[in-house]
């Protein structure tokens, strides 16, 4: 394996031993990965010359990625004439998918490092609601076809010519899974307002999970239990998560992220009774934080609504 592959191997194994076993046990897949070396920068594999509010497309295997922005507001003047909203756009060939910020039981998380940007005080990648994807090996959390990931950004005070730079890492999966990365760059003070981009990014922001409130859908409770094991297996400590729903008919799903270093699975629906649903999540693979706290982030999806709830794990069952 080349040096360039090793960071992705580490990411895969840190986030999911399922992925490591599934992928690295396949010599043909490994050979294809080494041959493709899915790494690209602004000068490599660019698809077309970009408009002022877009970086060039960078093609990475079956995926193409770029940065987009709303462009400077035409009503702004002076040091305010800069774009204040941007996004990462990923397009995938038919049949391929990429992953959410936590990939589930297999895959590589999508992430972006904006540390090389200039004139940017802060930038953070946001993630609209993903989908559950199951194959004979594992269950993952994915995006397919095309996804726009909003970027929360704040220009540095007094900055008139900020440049957003992103080192993006992600996975690309069909029958085999391959890591990819791209280096993207987008000046935020060029051109005029891009109304199409404004609509696209606004729609993506509307799909972001919202903080949980008192009204459903919401996480109502979490219990730790030793559920009855399958024949011949030891009892497994499991989190039983109860969700209150707004409807008895809309589809419902739940995604879970442990603290950094976790390699937990994806919750499964145990039962649904009207506007109450219960999910099971094995506690195996959930890591503790730096202070010893075992934090859990839950994303509950009901129809077109989605909420996010962060909580500490309940005490272990006796």
- Beta-strand pair 139-144/97-104: antiparallel
- For residue 239, give Cα distances in angstroms to 150, 199, 274, 278: 31, 39, 21, 10
Looking at residue 43, what is its pLDDT?
36
Q: Which helix (H) or strand (E) holds 28?
A: helix 27-36
Cβ within 8 Å of residue 300, ≥6 positions away: 209, 212, 217, 218, 219, 243, 252, 253, 254, 306, 307, 308, 309
Q: How many Cα atoms are found within 13 Å in the side-chain-facing hemisphere of 281?
A: 29
In order, the DSSP letters of 234-271 are: --EEEEEEEEE-S-SSS-EEEEEEESTT------EEEE
Phi, psi of 73 (to 5 degrees): -70, 125
Calpha distance 60→62 (Å, rounded): 6
The CATH number given to 211-312 is: 2.60.40
> What top-level class would CATH report for the domain 6-207?
mainly beta
Tokens of 314: 């309940």
Q: Where are the domains of the chain?
A: 6-207, 211-312
Judge whether 6-207 and 211-312 match in fold: yes
Looking at residue 56, what is its pLDDT?
97
Looking at residue 260, what is its pLDDT?
86
Q: What is the mean pLDDT of each run of 10 residues along the chain (318 residues)?
A: 38 40 36 41 40 88 97 57 88 98 96 98 98 94 98 92 97 93 94 88 97 98 79 77 98 95 94 98 83 85 98 67
Q: How many Cα atoms are found within 13 Å in the side-chain-facing hemisphere of 36?
A: 20
Which among 58, 86, 87, 88 is positioned nearest to 71, based on CA atoms? 86
Strand order across the beta sheet in which 236-244 lies = 218-227, 236-244, 276-282, 268-273
- For residue 312, give Cα distances in angstroms to 47, 52, 93: 45, 45, 39
pTM (two decimals) = 0.82
């Amino acid at each position: 394996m080349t040096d360039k592959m090793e960071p992705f191997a580490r990411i895969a194994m840190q986030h999911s031993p399922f992925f490591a076993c599934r992928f690295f046990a396949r010599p043909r897949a490994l050979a294809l990965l080494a041959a493709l070396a899915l790494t690209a920068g602004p000068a490599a594999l660019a698809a077309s010359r970009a408009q002022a509010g877009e970086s060039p497309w960078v093609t990475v295997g079956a995926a193409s990625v770029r940065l987009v922005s709303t462009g400077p507001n035409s009503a702004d003047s002076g040091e305010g004439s800069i774009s204040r909203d941007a996004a990462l756009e990923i397009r995938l060939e038919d049949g391929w998918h990429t992953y959410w910020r936590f990939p589930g039981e297999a895959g590589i998380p999508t992430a972006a490092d904006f540390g090389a940007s200039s004139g940017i005080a802060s930038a953070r990648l946001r993630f609209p609601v993903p989908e559950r994807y199951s194959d004979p090996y594992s269950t993952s959390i994915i995006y397919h076809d095309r996804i726009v990931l909003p970027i929360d950004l704040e220009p540095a005070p007094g900055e008139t010519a900020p440049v957003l730079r992103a080192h993006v890492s992600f996975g690309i999966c069909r029958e085999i899974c391959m890591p990819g990365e791209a280096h993207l760059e987008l000046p935020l003070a060029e051109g005029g307002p891009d109304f199409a981009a404004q609509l696209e990014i606004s729609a993506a922001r509307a799909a972001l999970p919202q903080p949980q409130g008192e009204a459903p859908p919401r996480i109502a409770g979490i219990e730790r239990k030793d559920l009855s094991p399958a024949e011949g297996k030891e009892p497994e400590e499991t989190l039983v998560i109860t969700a209150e729903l707004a409807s008895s008919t809309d589809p419902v799903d739940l995604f879970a992220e442990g603290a950094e270093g976790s390699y937990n699975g994806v919750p499964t629906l145990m039962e649904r009774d009207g506007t109450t649903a219960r999910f099971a999540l094995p506690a195996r693979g959930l890591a503790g934080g730096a202070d010893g706290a075992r934090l859990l982030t839950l994303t509950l999806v009901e129809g077109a609504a989605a909420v996010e709830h962060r909580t500490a794990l309940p005490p272990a069952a006796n």
